Chains A and B, each alone.
Chain A
């Protein structure tokens, strides 16, 4: 998919075109280009320091690219339209620790202009098994319950584009299944940054692989599997590809 700043393809959910970003003298992304179509479910794979988190931060507009451009559903990440469309879950996400679980959900729903704040909050409390903690101070929640709340906060406004960084961290297996089922039911474009192939496999059907801030490979998980022998674990295939890049 080739895209231009002025003529972004209509079916592009997420676009990064020749994006470079450095932290001082340390390069994080180097001429990174990839695109995800509307409705696509992609995993963002890469070794430590590949630039996955930086990519997500550029997509939510909290960082700006030094060069190149980033578009979400055709809008700049820091535009109002983009903010309305995007839901974001960072790694080790921390909600407002001075608020209760319900207050967090209601506050962010109100901030995002959700029409039925109460209904949406109640729905998420039940879906994420947080009802018993709704009045609990978030600062005192277990890490697993904090992660569930963070997931709820990321999807409280039913975003059209969902950016998730290690979404199943800290969750026990039954909760993982619940969250996977919830995310499966959400429509829209999903980009999931993860190190764990089994999670990528459950939450997505395609992969964008980056290494050292550069694009490495893009394709479906089935295509990725075919790059190795039938008995070879997919992790080995991915490791080989990433190592080959370095």
Chain B
């Protein structure tokens, strides 16, 4: 009897293990509080309260991440399924920060759109749990579960403008295609298990590391390719990008800001772990093709868009392509520059894109009516501050110096140059020149055209103001003083293995 009890206690994970998932615990807790509060509160007033609860939860989650970042908490937890290191802490921080920004910018949006929103905030928090877990999981099955947690939340969030047909379309489309994609991912895991006898990334890496020149059994090649299909879908990399414009157009703008940055960051974290820690065979060419296609398709399709949300959707495909360039690393060479370039890119892309969608969401007005380029005519006159902020985000997306986007792109390109991938580099720089055109179109419309129709611009409320201020500050900070972040990244890459 005593023996059995002892066994159970012995079998429980040590206390530090719980701290290694502390941010996830905090987020889930607050998500559940919201779900419980929602039905018992007055329908008309619940919105504000729940938003504040969610914000407190997200800030607490961020604090938990910072607490967790102390070095003596680093290590494996829960039977080698979760790994806390500087790498995972970075992505936790990014996801938590994005969540805070999105909650802040949703606050007023929900009221303007007249969406009743109890579970909205809950879903954002649950989604963030999945994304955080993805970045710290080192076990493919757990990664799959985390991916599903995050995906299911975003499927629902995409359909939150219930009165709008395109929003429901977005949700269904995203759900159906997304389910297929995760099925591919799962199949890939199964094949990897068949090829290496394990689902732990470290063990897979050990097994595949025996092969010289980054090769492996044929089963592993197929497994990696299938997993890449699933993950490529989530980051909207071509040729798995077709859902992106429709879903981004239909989904509520703050949600688009959320799902174009946070899940992407998390999935890129998974890709980095699977490809490099897992020694995935055949990765260079897989990445090469996907990156080249994403950049080219995204940028060329964006040229002809008249809807700003669709335009930004294609731009986000293109940015996934730039980001993938950092992953193109020859098997025998040192991936460190590429990894830290990719991490830097996620952070600065998150700041500028969340900010851009916050502006779009605010300007869209009730029912998201004003989302075409024409509606932005003369915004520079009607709302100078908002237009100036939007311009900075767009310039950063182009990659103009003094903003985070420039440095991110520069860093990614220079890592490709270091790998001697001149073809990819050339495709990349040409694409970034093409991209300048369509971002500039928005700027031109805002500043150089007379206001054609008086699309009303409401005053910027406090929550949105804070969100915009924060993303603006990060965008500029990363563009001028990238050093502290880069230092952190190179340290985190040093102790990666």
Partners in one complex: no
Interface residues of B (CB under 8 A from A): none
